Amino acid sequence: MVRGERHPLVADQVEVFTLARAGFNPQAAAEIWDRFNELHGKTGTWLSDLFGNTTAAQHRLRDMVKNMAALPPGYSERPVENESNFKSWQEAVVEYDNVARSEVLPGLISKHRLSTRLRPEITNLRFSPDGKYILAQDDGGINVVSRTPFAFLFYISAPDANDAQFSPDSKFVVFFTNGLRSEIWNIDMQKRKSVREITLREPCLQSELSPDGAVLACLRTDHALELIDVGDSSVIDRRKDFFNPSLFEAFNLRFTILRSQADDSQDLTSSIYR
């Protein structure tokens, strides 16, 4: 075994035994790895090993299955949790935000509240299709305003949101964040209707959320266009070679990706040293 290949295998062993000791289903590790690498349960055979056709991902899946066989009786099989309980837990995790958390400031010497609220620049201003509402979005979130009478209704905290929009029936505010978190807010109730975390295998060169918040259009780095179901992150449709850039456009896209990656790295570094 190559020395560099040993570390992932040891990590997989620790993962399986840790899941079992913590009371979770250790089979989930192999299932996630299988789905993530699209192996469809293929672990290779001694024949594919002989000819060098077994991939590293297949080797790891095979070892995960072997690790589960070494677990004590009763650890390799876990009863499936009630789906409704899991859904409730999942929704609570997705909908969680730290706005309501109590503030903890160790070493605070003094604190002053600004008498005049700082007003950032409005970057997105839109009328609803029926003309009854206005949204004014800044770097911190989204202000929803009625037109007649002209009055403030409510505020949505969304510091990393892309440009928000109204639904076609003017009943909801729809947006998604840079982290692919999609939210739909009910205007009449002035509260969030739904929130979803969209999971993608590869990043998008460009992305856009449908006005009803149900579908995400993703232009991938291989220039294929995918329509993603926001509800379960499944691919509804895919068109290969949807966009064939010129040499200049390809260079510009590459530069944009590199600059975005550099900005993300800089943000991560600043957050660590902050």
Residue type, 36: F
The secondary structure of 48-109, three-state, reads HHHCCCCCHHHHHHHHHHHHHHCCCCCCCCCCCCCHHHHHHHHHHHHHCCHHHCCCCCCCCC
Q: For the chain, what is the radius of gyration of the CA atoms? A: 24
Running along the chain, 274 residues long, what does each successive block of 10 average in pLDDT? 60 79 74 82 80 82 81 60 67 62 74 71 94 94 94 92 95 92 94 89 86 92 89 90 74 67 51 41
Note if the pTM is more than 0.75: no
Taking a C-beta distance cutoff of 8 angstroms, is the pair 174, 184 a contact? yes
The torsion angles phi and psi of 172, rounded to 5 degrees, stand at: -135, 155
Q: What pLDDT score was predicted for residue 93?
A: 62
Q: What pLDDT score was predicted for residue 175?
A: 96
Question: What's the rounded Cα separation, in Å, for the pair 24 and 22?
Answer: 6
Task: Report which DSSP code applies to 154.
Answer: E
Q: What pLDDT score was predicted for residue 205?
A: 81
Count of CA atoms in the C-beta half-sphere (13 A) of 100: 3
Q: What pLDDT score was predicted for residue 125?
A: 95
CA geometry: angle 261, 265, 268, nearest 5 deg? 140
Q: What pLDDT score was predicted for residue 218?
A: 92
Q: What pLDDT score was predicted for residue 173?
A: 97
Q: What pLDDT score was predicted for residue 124?
A: 95
- For the chain, where are the E strands, in sequence order? 124-127, 133-137, 141-146, 151-157, 165-166, 172-176, 181-186, 191-197, 204-209, 215-220, 225-229, 235-239
Task: Report all structural domains of the chain as residue ranges with CATH numbers, in order of start.
Answer: 3-77 (no CATH), 124-243 (2.130.10.10)
Q: What pLDDT score was predicted for residue 264?
A: 52
